[in-house]
Structure 1
Amino acid sequence: MCVRTIPAWRRRLRQVLPRRGGQDCCWFHGGDWHVVSGLAVRLLREVSSDGTEDDIEISSRMMTAARAEGLTGWDWEAFESLVYFPINVDADGYVNGRHRASVMMAAGVRKTVVQVMVLDG
């Protein structure tokens, strides 16, 4: 199994010596999350800079901008996964996206986009 707990020392090491590119164990390890996450963070800032808060509008604008950037193949699919099937976290931890988050941490990705779920009550 390619997902496992990543020791703190390894996460710190990957911050200094990031792992780029992919591995062949699974789809999640198949590309460079540094590229995809960096683009997602940048585009999220750009498309929401006008104050738009509608999730559907933001998602649509991000996908249009990613297409204009020429994103294709694995990078396109990974980007799409962050936009349409986001890593969800709530007060108890991960709700969705644990495998992607684990892969990114192992590679030393410093920033990505997530959806924070707030429960009323």
Structure 2
Amino acid sequence: MNLKQELQQLNNRLDATRRKLDAAHERGDMAMIDKFSEESQALKKRIESVKKTQARQVGKQGNKVSSLAFKRPLTKEEQADMGKLKKSVRGLVVVHPLTALGREMGIKEVTGFAPKKF
């Protein structure tokens, strides 16, 4: 399972645990309150761990992409026919500013990274 799916599942479990905890508070059931409080804390720790792992992976990928020798913003025509561009430029990596990698790298427009000039 990838990190994105795991994070989603953990958030769903945390939401369910919070609802059960609220119901236990309404009933005044101390045993269940303790159980769901502990489970909630464990899930929060795991979510934090997964987020840190995700950030570390994006950082590694950003370093790898930014170490490529050549970069330049892509024109609208190139963006429109991305398949043709990727076939003509060996090793091209396209980074969009709204993706996690683009935000991490501080990209302001769609940029292509490649080992050689294109």
Check whether TM > 0.5: no
Q: Which has the larger radius of gyration?
A: 2
More helix per residue: 2
- Structure with higher RCO (Cα < 8 A, 6+ apart): 1
- TM-score normalised per structure 1: 0.30
